[in-house]
Structure 1
Amino acid sequence: MYEERPSRLAGAVVWTRAVARETAVRPVLPDGCMDLIWADGRLLVAGPDTRAYVPENPVAEYAGVRFAPGEAPGVLGAEASELRDRRVDLAELWGARAARRLADEVTGAADRAAALEELVLRRAAGAPAPDPLLRAVVARLRAGGSVGAAADEAGLGARQLHRRSLAAFGYGPKTLARILRLQRALALVTAGVPYAEAAYRAGCADQAHLAREMRALTGTTLTGYLSGYRSAYSETAAPSGSSTTA
């Protein structure tokens, strides 16, 4: 069962998931986000994905904090491009002693998700403030705006935006725009909107365009995804791109 709530950290989400042994493992789809995850006693960082991620050894219990696009690097102390398409132990970023101490702190808490959130809030309090220009870029792209329009509104040149995007998002702004567009389409189709209409409303040229993007970014089809979504989350729905397994 999957549950989530808004975090006290702006734009972030706190989530938990308990995985039954017989539960089918679903791929985690790209969503533009990064997560700090507690997984049966370990602290892991899920970097930004450019393709679907299929957990090899899922564990029974998870808690996580999912950062908004571009928000995690300052808190974690690593550029997003270093973590692209990777799941790494927090020890690689913060050192083995600190990671072990923090993992034990979360493991021993009555509410592990709340303890993980407190850890993130403490870390964020001493971290550099998120780049307001990149926040504006994310907002523009999330709303369906073009990369060019987002760059112009932020007052950034193409090369400057690309360089800053690699550090913040893990990839260039065009890739982020594609991922956010796909997430808009998936939200629509899971709500029952017909594929062609979902494609149009999400900003794709047509249904065939959406189908190609789905295949390129996730390795599956809309029908295959929707079937798995309904069967895996018949009780509690999880967002399509959530990093609910490490």
Structure 2
Amino acid sequence: MYRERPAGVAGAVLWTSTAPAGGRTTRVLPDGCVDLLWSSAAGLLVAGPDRTAFLSVGVAGERWVGLRMPPGVGPAVLGVPADELRDSRVPLAALWGDRAVAGLGERVAADPAAALPALAARRLGAAGGPDRLGARVAAAAAAGVPVAAIAAEVDLDPRALHRHSRRLFGYGPKTLARILRMRRALALARAGTPLAEVAAVCGYADQAHLTRDVRDFAGVPPTALLAA
């Protein structure tokens, strides 16, 4: 009932999901991304970057289409700093105003899988593209580069990097790095790598450290996520 594919705009992913007849609750893990969403029940929404897992409750038969924009891209599309959206789900009209969104909902509802990427592409073009440093900072954070080294690489002092990262990602580079490391660790574990080996490969002190980090962000230990 869940599918995703490249959206063809700024590295974004287009995903679709339909809740089963009995409804569904989904644990959405932090990923540093901002999503532009259309729901058959709620219309146009924005999901900000999460610091902890969000429990999404879908009513029976509810259809979702989402454009998941990679870390740093969402603010350029939406015109809103990521830290103002952190841990929130808000109607798009709350950001752009009722007049700007008037009529947009009907056009998106006719073909959301085509309309959301097209809308994002137009907005991104008007903004001059994503922030130039966003992809560099996110890539360095994903690679485990220390914050001081990232700051030196992008020619910012650590405090300026932190402020810039909050606007782009919703949190500082250290938190982003921890979230991206958790995502990598879980992907390896789901592929069958034992947790102790996952911890070593991903740079955790030990398996207990991995478990604490996952619990901090996901609310449950990795074994619970893997079982689900």
Alignment partner of 2:71: what SS? Answer: coil
> What is the CA-CA distance between 1:200 and the residue it aligns to?
1.5
> What is the CA-CA distance between 1:57 and the residue it aligns to?
5.0
2 CA distance for matches of 1:80 and 1:17? 24
Alignment partner of 2:201: what SS? Answer: helix
- Residue matched to 2:222: 222
Partner residue of 2:94 out of 92, 95, 100: 92
Does the alignment pair 1:16 with 2:12?
no
> What is the CA-CA distance between 1:211 and the residue it aligns to?
0.3
- Residue matched to 2:196: 196
Q: CA-atom RMSD, angstroms? A: 1.4
- Residue matched to 2:167: 167
> What is the CA-CA distance between 1:10 and the residue it aligns to?
1.8
Letter of the structure 1 residue corresponding to residue 25 of structure 2:
V
The gaps in structure 2 that reach 5 residues or longer are: none
Letter of the structure 1 residue corresponding to residue 121 of structure 2:
L
Percentage of matched positions with identical amino acids: 50
Q: Deviations along 1:20-40, whole A, 9 cap, x unmatched?
A: 133541210001101000011
1:18-57 map, 5 Å = 18-22=18-22, 24-40=24-40, 42-56=43-57
Higher fraction of strand? 2
Following TM superposition, the consecutive aligned residue runs of length 4 or more in structure 1 with deviations greater than 4 angstroms are: 56-59
The gaps in structure 1 that reach 5 residues or longer are: 229-246
Which of 1 and 2 has higher RCO (CA within 8 Å, sep 6+)?
Answer: 1
Q: Deviations along 1:146-182, whole A, 9 cap, x unmatched?
A: 2222222112110110010111111111110110110
Q: Deviations along 1:45-85, whole A, 9 cap, x unmatched?
A: 00000000012454610001111101110110101111000
Alignment partner of 2:56: what SS? Answer: coil
53-62 vs 100-109, which moves further? 53-62
Q: How high is the TM-score relative to the length of structure 1?
A: 0.87
